[in-house]
Amino acid sequence: MSTSMRIVDHKEMDLSAALVVVGFPGLGLVGSIASNFLVSTLNLEKIASILSRDFPPMAVLRDGRVASPVRIHAAPMVCGVDGKCNQLAIVLSEVTPKAEVLYDLCEALLSWGLEKKVLEMVVLEGFSRPAGASDTLVYGAANSKESLERLKQLNVKPMGEGIISGLSGILSYLGEAMGLNVTCLLAETTKEYPDAKSAAKLLEILDPLVPQIRIDPKPLYQQAEVIEGHLKSTLKKHGEDMADIAERSRIMFG
Per residue in 27-38, pLDDT tens? 888 998 899 889
For residues 167-196, average pLDDT:
91
The percentage of the chain sitting over the pLDDT mark of 70, rounded to a whole number, equals 80
Q: What is the pTM of this model?
A: 0.86
Confidence grade of residue 253 (pLDDT, cut at 50, 70, 90): very low
Domains of the chain: 6-233 (3.40.50.10900)
Nearest alpha carbon to residue 133 among 196, 224, 198, 200: 198
End-to-end Cα spacing for the chain: 34
For residue 165, what pLDDT band results from cuts at 50, 70 and 90? confident
Question: In sequence order, which ranges of the chain are alpha helices (DSSP H)?
Answer: 30-41, 102-116, 145-153, 166-178, 196-206, 217-237, 242-248
Task: State pLDDT tens for residues 120-155.
Answer: 999 999 988 776 666 788 999 999 999 999 999 999
Residue 248 has pLDDT above 60, yes or no: no
Q: What is the mean pLDDT of residues 191-213?
A: 83
Please state, rounded to an integer, the average pLDDT across all residues of the chain: 85
What three-state secondary structure class fits 143?
coil
* CA distances, 239 to each of 48, 234, 246 (Å): 28, 9, 14
The whole-number average pLDDT for the span 65-70 is: 92
